[in-house]
Amino acid sequence: MLKFYNSLTRRKEEFTPYGDTVKMYSCGPTVYSYPHIGNMRAYLFMDNIRRTLKYNGYKMDGVMNITDVGHLTSDADEGEDKMMVASEREHKTPWEIAKFYTDVFMKDVKALNIDLPEHIVPATSVIGDIIDFVKGLQEKGYAYETSKGIYFDISKFGGYGQLGSDINAKKAGARIEVDGEKLHPADFALWIKAPKEHIMQWDSPWGMGYPGWHIECSTIGKKYLGDHIDIHTGGVDHKTIHHENEIAQSDCLEGHKVVRFWMHLEFLQIDGGKMSKSLHNVFTLSDLEANGFCPEDFRYFYFMAHYSKQQNFTYDSLMSARNSLKNFKNAIWEHKNGTSSLTKEKEESYRQDFLNAINDDLNMPVALAVCQKLLKEDKSKDVYNLICKFNEVLGLDLEEKEERIPDEIKKLAERRWQAKQNKNYAQADSLRAELSSKGYTINDHKEGYDIVKN
């Protein structure tokens, strides 16, 4: 039985989709700066769900938005417009900013071998649909107009707070004084009337303006998946405002519950704390690569913790993921030409254990432990084949180049590394030359070296 933890019901529930195909929506990136490895944890989570569902035989219809329209820095419609800030910082148009960072994002997710959703939709491509959505809410009496824009009236939606946010916590205070037209402090903007100088704006029934930041997800979900969505994913930071607001918009427009499973990923911490620019601890995938790690090391690192727990990133823990991955692959390759065989019963039991682990709300640490146990069996092609099957979920590159590097070359490279460590540079250089004559280049980095076939 496949079970996921549902943030709506606050328990693990059996998952079955509405139809044959699983419809899944994932909140995507805001493309105004480099995505960091915390963001990447969110997309590895999406990948983990998609691959697990496919492994269970489901077809996928997935959607992810790209927030390429400026929205305000806080969830609560306050602060600066992020795209505008980036435009000014980089002397580019918002369109250029969005294109540049969307490309960076796509490069990173591809490097991590993330199984991408069938539709990746920029918010700016659905402005007309957003306007229709807002009009629909207005016609049904869920929205009202102020001099600033069109607001959602949360008092009209009895279901507000399903994900646990307490609307009374937002006491009438400073915000109300600033914007006396809002009926409730938690009412949020669906459409914002743009001052002339605002860089991204579109014509609408309410004059020139731009969408509020929650509406794009409800609109894109409706347009691409319809009014019954099986799963919606995102990081925990989005749970109590962004996702409450999405529920309010979508359920009120459709007149019924739209999303059945809300799944939230806990944050990646750095050195035990929050990632923050001021602490200089916001790492990108490129930073990890510059330190000699492969994207796949980070992919393996993701599997080492459960998604519902905070995961602490340090370079030491990434190094340990890297070593485990190396050992994991070596062990797999040793089975490739193994002559022993796995009994049908054993094979079935490993299959079942692996399935039980992934189907128990994506318990990847247990799934890895099942693989480790399997790899301890006598060397057998059956083990190799079974691991390749499990790899449909893990998504690792089992045909990596290192496999084809002969032992002799590995030994030479190791001798060179030792010579270098012992400051015996002449010997290290001559071994490097020998390796080069055999067609291999050695790339050193902080923690070790890579052997590259020329």
Residues near ligand AMP, by CB under 6 A: 27, 29-30, 38-39, 41-42, 234-235, 237-238, 265, 267-268, 275
**Cβ distance to Zn ion smaller for residue 74 or 312:** 74
| Residue at 406: amino acid letter | P
Residue 332 contact among Zn ion, ligand AMP, none, beta carbon within 5 to 8 Å by kind? none
The stretch among 21-29, 124-132, 170-178, 347-355 that binds Zn ion (CB under 5 A) is: 21-29
* Three-class DSSP category at 339: strand
**Cβ distance to ligand AMP smaller for residue 89 or 438:** 89
Residue 123 contact among Zn ion, ligand AMP, none, beta carbon within 5 to 8 Å by kind? none
Query: In this structure, what token pair is assigned to residue 316?
Result: 């030491």
Q: Which listed residue (2, 22, 24, 27) binds Zn ion by CB under 5 A?
A: 27
Q: How far is the CB of 191 from ligand AMP (least distance, A)?
A: 20
Query: In this structure, what token pair is assigned to residue 128?
Result: 């007309």
123 scored as a contact of Zn ion (CB under 5 A): no
Residue 342 contact among ligand AMP, Zn ion, none, beta carbon within 5 to 8 Å by kind? none
Q: How far is the CB of 135 from ligand AMP (least distance, A)?
A: 26
Helix/strand/coil (H/E/C) assignment for every residue in 388-446: HHHHHHHCCCCCCHHHHCCHHHHHHHHHHHHHHHCCCHHHHHHHHHHHHHCCEEEEEEC
Query: In this structure, what token pair is assigned to residue 354?
Result: 């692996």
- 373 vs 370: CA distance, rounded Å: 5
Q: Are 294 and 319 in contact (CB under 8 A)?
A: no
Q: How far is the CB of 366 from ligand AMP (least distance, A)?
A: 21
Residue 30 contact among ligand AMP, Zn ion, none, beta carbon within 5 to 8 Å by kind? ligand AMP
109 scored as a contact of Zn ion (CB under 5 A): no
**Cβ distance to ligand AMP smaller for residue 42 or 143:** 42
Report the DSSP beta bridge partners of residue 449. Answer: 444
Q: Are 23 and 225 in contact (CB under 8 A)?
A: yes
Residue 259 contact among Zn ion, ligand AMP, none, beta carbon within 5 to 8 Å by kind? none
Residue 17 contact among Zn ion, ligand AMP, none, beta carbon within 5 to 8 Å by kind? none
**Which of 273, 284, 283, 366 has its CA nearest to residue 311?**
273
- 150 vs 448: CA distance, rounded Å: 57
**Cβ distance to ligand AMP smaller for residue 43 or 151:** 43
Cβ count near 74 (within 10 Å) = 11
Q: Which parts of 209-268 interact with Zn ion (CB under 5 A)?
A: 217
Q: How far is the CB of 210 from ligand AMP (least distance, A)?
A: 17
Q: How far is the CB of 383 from ligand AMP (least distance, A)?
A: 34
Residue 217 contact among Zn ion, ligand AMP, none, beta carbon within 5 to 8 Å by kind? Zn ion
Residue whose C-beta lies closest to ligand AMP? 235
Cβ count near 442 (within 10 Å) = 19
Residue 275 contact among Zn ion, ligand AMP, none, beta carbon within 5 to 8 Å by kind? ligand AMP
Strand locations in 75-134 (E): 119-122
Distance set, CA 328 to CA 321, 331, 332, 335, 376 (Å): 10, 5, 6, 11, 11
Report the DSSP beta bridge partners of residue 273. Answer: 270
**HSE (side-chain half, CA atoms, 13 Å) at 44:** 31
Residue 114 contact among ligand AMP, Zn ion, none, beta carbon within 5 to 8 Å by kind? none
**Cβ distance to Zn ion smaller for residue 265 or 393:** 265
**Cβ distance to ligand AMP smaller for residue 36 or 335:** 36
- 183 vs 308: CA distance, rounded Å: 36
Which positions touch Zn ion (CB under 5 A)?
A: 27, 217
